[in-house]
Structure 1
């Protein structure tokens, strides 16, 4: 099977420069040789669904960045498979005939960008690199749980990093002496459907009617992607905080994509449930 995979990979690469190739493996099984003539047209037909799915990623990137196709100056291909003529044609057609940038080797694009970023961080960047701005974003929304399990978003998905956000909260019970600050990441309206990153308690709140105490909650994501969450009672000055590392208990890329899809699928259900709980909390 390994030899067959290697031969198929070689054929895929060959079809980027020729219109016809042969997959051949000697003594593949029980001494029987394998041979298959493959055309570029047949290859494109077999992989049409995979090629079309590339555009879904492009569309999502434009939506998330709030840009239109007309706003794009250059299209840079990343990864060896972008050499496949059909992929290049699909992308070029989507961007209304715009020629893709071919000055960067697709196999080296990621390493090149990482090297530029490293030079900027280390302070060794030249004049050209000084004009380059590389930004990181939050892959999922970050927020805290409020009464009824509602997800109160503090940092929306795709917010550029570093980022600082402060918001005021209060108690939901009379004479409440402490609040539990639970931090979640995810796109669903209810925290039970999102991913818990951590929590802490702020204690020592003075007795008061619900809604009277003022608790200032701050979310800060630093340049290293570390999330710092703090809460401070405005009356007493009591404070507590937590720091969450970028690689500690965080979700995989596949799980992030799955959560985004689930949020789109259950958007209406989540909105109705959230509105019902918020109406109940307001009474």
Structure 2
């Protein structure tokens, strides 16, 4: 029932949106980060909500969560992305996590169509107050009615109980079905070192594959994205999952599912 109420809330907001101009696809995917180009809105505010069952995510713990973010273009093909996630535990306690990244397109990046390849660096703090540094390789291809994206992220947590290096990868593809609707799928794999490390510190390698929708209302500064699917272990380690800042982290040793929605507000062209 909570899932249906969550989806209905997002649809009610989108139905009431009336603004001044059509937004660019500044954040069409939920589990991959794309870079901004000259024909996209320069600065954007984002609000994301999620619902997980036997899964915790970037927004909190098992149940409902939320995240506030900002994304903008710094010029010269640089994109900055920051977020603040709030989590509400079943015990009544709250926790927070933050991330900040700067990515630069090395190939492409002057316009949204065609191929783009970039790299970036970031810093973060997870739910248990462990700091980390990260690197990201971001690739995307937009042409006519298709868009594709892929990310490879490396994370180094500054804590002796964590892995020496974590690997997280994601992929998304969209097909335009109507003027304002894009539909496809997204996949994410995290803690991939679990494929070769039996004592992987976050419990093992985890995967999620599910449908993805992006809606860009005509003459609106807002755009909407919705994605989710089953979360399952591809491998398991003998170590209990930590509180590392992750898109997917199944609860205990059970598989689960996650559903996430995002509202993007373009501050200007």
User: Same fold per TM (> 0.5)?
Assistant: no
What TM-score do you get using the length of structure 1 for normalisation? 0.21
- Specify which structure has the higher proportion of helix: 1
Q: Which has the larger radius of gyration?
A: 1
What TM-score do you get using the length of structure 2 for normalisation? 0.22
Higher relative contact order (CA 8 A, sep 6+): 2
- Specify which structure has the higher proportion of strand: 2
